[in-house]
A and B are shown apart, each in its own frame.
Chain A
Amino acid sequence: MADVESQIAEWRAYVARAPGVNGHDVDELDAHLRDQIAELAAAGLTGDEAFLVAVKRMGDLDALSREFAREHSGRLWKQLVLSNEEDPARPSSGWLEALAFAVAAAVAMQIARLAADFPDEEEEWLFLNISLLVLPFLAGYFARRRHLDPRRWLLTATPFALAALVVNLYPFDADSATQLVVALYLPVALWFAVAYPYMGGTLRSHERRMDFVRFTGEWVIYYALIALGGGVLLMLTVLIFEPLGAGVDERLVEWVLPSGAAGAVIVAAWLVESKQHVVENMAPVLTMLFTPLFAVMLTAAAAIYAVSGTAGEFDRELLGVFDALLVVVLGLVLYAMSAREAARPAAPMDRVQLLAVASALVLDLMVLGSMLARIGDLGFTPNRVAALGLNLVLLVNLAGAAWLSTRFLTGRIAFHRLERWQTSYLPVFAIWAATVVVALPPLFAFD
């Protein structure tokens, strides 16, 4: 019977992974399985035979899981906070590790805040260094989780050390425009630095690069969820403490908010890692929902601007807005791509996505034309160079994506080629962000 026990344990573990089935359900099904096996064994079957018949009678696990999920649709969300089951060899260290790094990030942020005396003083170095206070802990978390060797630990730390030196040793002028640009681009550059430990040091693997894209998208979703919940909690706390007066509520926000925001970066990463299958269910739904909406918005905007001919009057701020728009469209494209099964044939949603990309390109070309004319008149500023560069980098990426997805939709290439284009292009973003951080300030004399 010892053999049957191990078979039951395996079956249990398998059932426990099914979405929509929780621990109590597994216990219940387990008891059922054992009753069935006992009865069959009493009728003369061997342990193995009884186990096989009992499992067969239990039915197809996929159908069962669907049935459970239908009855308990709320459970898919509850799984967000349940324990890690991906790594059965280390059942407890998963969340403990994450918690340790999250607390470290929270403490680092708090110390820096106190040192800068924020918010009473508005020290610029604090804003400049915010990503350096948090993302090294995220990188460290992944380096530990992926069991990197000492050489790779060193390589993981290098970009962070360099960035810390660069941004803090550059002699920025007071109210410097380049400083603002660096503060904006540094988190992006460092996020790509996190990719190295996330991918376990295998930067060349396109599959791992796609994993990192998926991770980024899911991390954003989890972070937004945590921020929403945390916001509600904080608001209620403030309301409760308000009657105490004497600024207790304000102090509370000052202490809790920075640390909470820093710790949540790690917690969100841990959630993505340990609860992957939960968000995998959400990604297709979200892209299905937002791709058509963005397509409609972008097509309408492109048509209106083209017809009314107001593209020539775009003002200075608009290039930044369009950069943001292109980033969102690119994010949507990448996210949809990472959630898509590569083997699936072209579907209507792929066409809708192409429409969104094409409209964004048309819009962007109009803006770019008017901006180039403006720069020709008024010259370069740090802001304009950074925005223009980002714009070109995004433009090339989306143009390539549009071209390849046209070829995919007409059946001339496999979807895999599109994926390859995006994963090959990722280093370009990283290099551009790093260039802005390192090269732009000296070019403009730290102005």
Chain B
Amino acid sequence: MHIASSYGRARVNINKDLVAASATPLVLSILAEGESYGYSILKRVRDLSGGDLEWTDGMLYPLLHRLLRLGYATTEWRTPSGGRRRRYYAITDDGRAALAEQQRQWMTVTRALGGVWQDSGWSPALGGA
């Protein structure tokens, strides 16, 4: 569970703009692993970020609907045996293309930041808080 995974280190409060910017690629990436529904996507986000990426649960749904509108995902209501009726989302080819593009952009940014931090030897994150 995400609560356990965040033991033993300080929690990072991620800036709101960064949360918003990373939301779309994150959701697309999770959908690229396989179709999923809102609550499960949210749990996956918490697990992946060790609970540091805190979303307001409801806000995921307008985002998912935007992906539908852009044609990055499709959706259908299904009731799995023994489960609750849920709305499942699956990524489309357009969605994969958009994800690939987002991936390149984020890679570039992280590479640049990693490069400059390595060169200057400035790495407070490793010093321990």
Q: What residues of chain A have their CB less than 8 Å away from a CB belonging to chain B?
A: 24-25, 27-29, 31-32, 34-36, 57-61, 63-64, 67-68, 70-72
Contacts and interface: CB of A to CB of B under 8 A. Distances in A.
B58 A71 contact: no
B62 A71 contact: yes
A44 to B, nearest CB: 13
Main DSSP-derived SS at the A contact region:
helix
Interface residues of B, number: 18
B59 interface: yes
Given A68-B61, A68-B62, A71-B66, A32 B56 contact: no
B54 to A, nearest CB: 9
B38 A32 contact: yes
B38 A71 contact: no
A266 to B, nearest CB: 35
B62 A31 contact: no
B58 A72 contact: no
B86 A31 contact: yes
Contact of B57 (A24, A59, A70, A72): A59
A67 B57 contact: no
A31 B61 contact: no
A31 B39 contact: yes
Main DSSP-derived SS at the B contact region:
helix
B16 interface: no
B85 interface: yes
A64 B65 contact: no
Contacts of A70: 62
Nearest first, the 10 A-B pairs at minimum CB distance are A59-B56, A35-B39, A67-B62, A64-B58, A59-B58, A71-B62, A58-B58, A57-B57, A32-B39, A58-B57
A32 B57 contact: yes
A25 B57 contact: no
B39 A59 contact: no
A59 B40 CA distance: 17
Interface in B14-54: 37-40, 42
Nearest to B56: A59
B87 A31 contact: yes
Contacts of A60: 56
B85 A31 contact: yes
Contacts of A28: 38, 61, 86-87
